[in-house]
Amino acid sequence: MSQSQKGICAEPNLHAQYLLFNVVDDDFPAMREKLSRLLDLFEHFDDEHYEAMVSGVIAIGSSFWSEIYPHSSPQELVGFPDMQCDDRCAPVLPCDLFIQIRADRLDICHAVGIEVLDLLRVHVELVEQVSAFRYLDGRDLTGFLDGEDNPRGMKKLDIAIVGDNDPEHKGGSYIHIQRYRHDMNRWNALSLRRQEGVMGKTKEHNLPLVDSGRSSHNFRTKLTGPNGEYPSLLKQSMPYGDMLMQGLFFVSCANNSKSFKDMLHSRIFGDEMGHYDRFLDYSNAETGAAFFAPSIQFIKRHAKDYDDGKVPF
């Protein structure tokens, strides 16, 4: 049995800590063992502070995977899709390791993050850390509901978790992250009607606009997956910011890597008539990276050193 990491399909939380690392040494056996200990760390905090609904995700970067797990690569793990059209782009910030920590208590998120860094410190450098939070009733800082089309219940597993088509990596998930910065001054200068036109839905009640057009954010992001499934992504995004900078830390989980690429292409390039996602006129991606979050059993099984070249299957 392959069990997915708890944080992939967890219910929304009030707080999140996103940590991006690059590995700076080649002691890969030690890294494999410490990734296994991170799972134990998440479980410990969840047991000790059950009311906080603690969860975590460990995801391995597309370029780093072949170094830490050289004998077994997920079928669709590729680099982040580098796209640009006019002034719209999806910049790449390659990272070896992505750790997502979520909880309903900010202090617990912080405590877990400190423990993660202490455990990995000798092997990694911290590239970026982002603290995120739930805003109002699950809205983006633009005031619109975010992630309302996420799959529910068992449908989450169908959309986000790799199945029997890749037996060795069953229970894993393809993770894509982007940090978007919103131009809140320009956005807030728009009338409510224009904001709703850009998003393709009403602000207060989240109802789709009948005449939203093919350039609305709603239209350009609602795509079916490779097998016609909808929604094709499970989104775990959360707002972040301070008094000077605000945005969205985008996280998607899927049982394939194509769904995210198709969605990003739809937003940046649009269609042959030039209908791209107009929300990109008000929000720019500043980072982007692709990862794979293995199953719990995969991480535990590979925590031991390779012995005489044998793969620990």
CB atoms within 10 A of CB 2: 18
Per the rule left: phi > 0, alpha: psi between -120 and 50, beta: everything else, 312 is beta
CB atoms within 10 A of CB 65: 20
Domain residue spans of the chain: 15-301
Per-residue pLDDT of the chain (313 residues; tens, 9 = 90+): 789 999 999 999 999 999 999 999 999 999 999 999 999 999 999 999 999 999 999 999 999 999 999 988 999 999 999 899 999 999 999 899 999 999 999 999 999 999 999 999 999 999 999 999 999 999 999 999 988 889 998 999 999 999 999 999 999 999 999 999 999 999 999 999 999 999 999 999 999 998 878 999 999 998 776 777 677 899 999 999 999 999 999 999 999 999 999 999 999 999 988 899 999 999 999 999 999 999 999 999 999 754 434 444 4
**Cross-strand pairs, 180:** 248, 285
Q: For residue 203, what are the CA distances in angstroms to 40, 47, 211, 214, 215?
A: 41, 38, 15, 18, 17
Q: Which helix (H) or strand (E) is 84 found in, with range?
A: strand 83-85
Contact 140, 238 (CB under 8 A): no
Assess whether the previous peptide bond of 70 is cis (omega < 30° from 0): no
Q: Which two tokens stand for residue 125?
A: 């450098």
Q: Secondary structure of the chain: what % helix, strand, coil (to 5)?
A: 30, 25, 45
**Does residue 214 sit in helix, strand or coil?**
coil
Q: What global pTM score does this model have?
A: 0.94
Q: For residue 85, what are the CA distances in angstroms to 82, 95, 266?
A: 11, 24, 11
Q: Which helix (H) or strand (E) is 250 found in, with range?
A: strand 246-254
Q: CA 90 from chain center: how many Å?
A: 15
